[in-house]
Structure 1
Amino acid sequence: MSAPTAPPPLGDTGLWQAVMTAADDRCQCSGACGKSHAKDGDRCPREDGSHRTHGGGRVRLLAAPADPADLALPDHRAAALPPARLAAWCPTCHHAARTAARKSAAAAQPPAEPAALF
């Protein structure tokens, strides 16, 4: 049985609700966070409005880039993505996947040239 959903975030223009509806109010991470989620059908079990397993409080899902590589985009570019390129993420999966994407993007950058002394 699904947890009761909380009201949409302040300032929601319908985009967040569209992403949550498409995701059935459940985190769509399937391992980009570093966890396999194998015991949960290969998808994170956290639902919007559900209780966290640690720390109390309720889970509030985020609408963020679906492609883990896009999680490394600057915030202003990620916010401009169309709804079809967004997914629902719980904060834990989002943070871990975003950190991994940023590390991967940084590793792919060529080393900076040292500044000349003269």
Structure 2
Amino acid sequence: MTPRPPLAATPAWRAVMHTAGHRCQCTGQCGDPHTRGGGRCDREHDGHSHRRGGGTVRLLAAPADPAQLGLPAHRAAALPAGELAAWCPTCHDHTRKTAARAAEAADTSADALF
């Protein structure tokens, strides 16, 4: 069965999913070592979540660089497909939060100098 793209699928989304094989490209940036998937998240677009009641997985095309996951949507959408990766919602959220905390910590330590 061919995975169904979202209604607003763009050529960039399609290119990212094709490159990723319609599988989340997280390799542990979220904090999970993904041992069951051989070091890469095993969630696939239109697949099922591993948790009870998790529902169907819908992958996102978002910045590959975790530091850029906090970009406003209009700036992230302007990135070329080569700078995007396929993320499942869980890995995306955990990686984005971890990157935001790291950025806050860096800002706080810079302020401590003055």
TM-score past 0.5 threshold:
yes
Whichever of the two has the greater Rg, that structure is 1
* Structure 2 counterpart of 1:59: 57
Alignment match of 1:25 (pick from 16, 22, 26): 22
* Structure 1 counterpart of 2:88: 90
What letter matches 2:34 in structure 1? H
| 2:4 is aligned with 1:7 | yes
Q: Deviations over 1:67-103 (max 9, x none)?
A: 1111122322222211100000000000000010111
What letter matches 1:72 in structure 2? G
Q: CA deviation at 1:106?
A: 1.5
The alignment-based identity, stated in percent, is 58
* Structure 2 counterpart of 1:40: 37
5+ residue gaps, structure 1, are 113-118
- Distance in 2 between the 1:14 and 1:86 partners? 12
- Distance in 2 between the 1:111 and 1:67 partners? 25
- Distance in 1 between the 2:20 and 2:71 partners? 22
- Distance in 1 between the 2:2 and 2:106 partners? 40
Contact 1:46 1:59 in 2 (8 A): yes
Name the TM-score, length of structure 1 as normaliser: 0.83
5+ residue gaps, structure 2, are none
Contact 2:22 2:44 in 1 (8 A): yes
Q: Deviations over 1:45-83 (max 9, x none)?
A: 000011111224210000001111111223222222111
